[in-house]
Amino acid sequence: MKEKHTSRPSRTDWGRVTKMKDEEIDYSDIPPLRDNFFKDAQIRWPEKKKQVTLRIDLDVIEFFKKQGKGHQSMINAVTSRTAKCCNPIEISYQAEEGRIVSFQAGVP
């Protein structure tokens, strides 16, 4: 597991937790699973991604960076959602000299 760095020290006694045996863990606040819990379960693997070079306006990058860690994943999520919700006819743009000067995506 990736080590996380936080600005505050943890108040958890990790030494005690590490030494704890499975039988000592209190599961009383977790409801038991029903027999059919996994009946309709499906494995959902993350979609493969391809690394590309993409030019994005500085103000867009700054906006997503201000949202916090994972700005590239957020940009991907917004782009993916737009691509899934909009038919090609609903996405329009105007180009001048090979550059897009305006863009509009309609939501059904």
Residue 80, pLDDT score: 83
Residue 7, pLDDT score: 73
Residue 99, pLDDT score: 58
Question: How far, in Å, CA of 15 to CA of 4, rounded?
Answer: 17
CB atoms within 10 A of CB 89: 7
Averaged confidence pLDDT in the chain: 79
The domain spans of the chain are 14-106
Condensed to tens digits (0 to 9), the pLDDT of residues 54-73 reads 899 899 899 989 888 889 98
| pTM score, whole prediction | 0.43
Residue 23, pLDDT score: 92
* Residue ranges for the chain with pLDDT beneath 70: 1-6, 86-108
Sign of the torsion formed by the C-alpha atoms of 87, 91, 92 and 95:
negative
Residue 21, pLDDT score: 93
